[in-house]
Each structure stands twice: as structure tokens, then as C-alpha cells.
A and B are shown apart, each in its own frame.
Chain A
């Protein structure tokens, strides 16, 4: 994941679960994007999304689920909780790039 993102021009930090990710945010680092797996110990991806969206100071943080969980109901729940986009694994780098372009985080570049 970090590899793909740095290939697209991002600097990245990693957290092993939602709790660690919240700590990173609380430490004051200004992030533009969080790519979130669903299944994590301590605090899972959905809980993390809910926690982030409850904080006004983080409302500009873009949240993308990147996960094997791909049931229709789960995508609905993630979007309803406030995730902006959803990528299912396995994914290709250009799929992630196209979602990021949709969100305005990357310029649009098409592949046929």
C-alpha cells in the first residue's frame, strides 16, 4: 500500500490499527488521505472512520477503505459512516489512482 502510494507521489506513514492511526492524527501531523483496511486488531477500520468523522478538526481528511471486505452491505456501511471511497483487494495501482483522481487528490489520467 505504502509502495503504491509513494509511487503516486505521496509521503506515507503507517499504523497497525485504528488506535495507532488516531494517535498519529492526534500528534498533529497534517495528513491528506487515510487508506484503511477493515480488519485490524484493537480498533477496526469502520470504528476508525466513525472516530475520524466525529472530529471537526479532521473533516478535510479523505478516507478510503482498502480492504478484502466487499459485501454490498459493508460498502454501504462504510460510506454511511463517512468513508469517501472504497477499493476492494486485490486492486491495481491504477485503480487506486483513478479513485484518488475522482476525489481530486491526483490529476486525471486515463487508461483505456
Chain B
């Protein structure tokens, strides 16, 4: 939403993956409960891109059409569609042990274009997992880029 509002002519493709078919199904439906909608979504964006659906809200067809949902296990080879400009991997690494986090981040790095960004959850960091990344100061967020000092 933020992308298309600030650059309306931009061709945006988003690939969303999860290991769970149930999560994918919910994602494809574009439906959100009232509790979910209340959380952190500006009301102005709500009225522009959502319509009421029962006790919840449904994302507009235009927005939904920019996102493809597919099943993917982070422990497998990266999904099709790379190289990506931005990868969101938020509050997911926390579920893995250190070695697995290293493997996942390494695969992520292989499909992120140089100069692209990795976004982790607010309390997460690549520190201690891989030093191939450098932190980028953007607001208070956890934004990372492949370190230009890394030649590997």
C-alpha cells in the first residue's frame, strides 16, 4: 500500500510465502479481523484499500493482485522470482536455532539483489548470525543490506 501510494505508476510484485497452507489460504483471502485491522494500519489507508466484510475487512482486489502466495519452506532452496529488491523476514528467525538461522540468512542473501534490503522484526538483528550484513539507519527499524565489504 505504501509503495503504490507513493509511486502509483510503479509495477510491484510481491511474493509471500509460508510453510502452512492454512496461513496461505488466509493470506489469499485478503480478509482481516477487526483486531488485526486495528493494529498499526493508518485509518486513511484502511478506507482507501479495504471494504467491510462481516465483522472484518477485506483488502481491495487491486492490492491483492500485487501479491502471489506460495508455499515455501525456509529450509529449502529459495523461492522462484528472485532476485528481490526487498525481503521481509520478520519475527521468523526467532523460531530457529543459530545454525539454521545462518543457513536461512545465507539463502536469503543469495536471492537479494545487491543494494537490496532485508527487513527483520524490530527486536531482531543479523549480529551474531552472519557478518555479511550491514545495518541501515532508517527510522527505528531493523533494516539490513549486504555489506559492500563482503566479497564472498
Contact = CB atoms under 8 A, between A and B. Distances in A.
Is chain B in direct contact with chain A in the complex (CB below 8 A)? yes
Interface in B32-91: 34-35, 37-40, 42-44, 46-47, 50-52, 90-91
Contacts, number: 56
Contacts of B139: 108
Contacts of A91: 35, 38
A52 interface: no
A86 interface: yes
Interface residues of B, number: 21
B50 to A, nearest CB: 8
A110 B43 contact: no
B35 A71 contact: no
Contacts of A90: 34-35
B143 to A, nearest CB: 13
Interface in A57-112: 70-72, 75-76, 78-79, 83, 85-88, 90-92, 94-96, 98-99, 101-102, 107-112
B121 interface: yes
A88 B51 contact: no
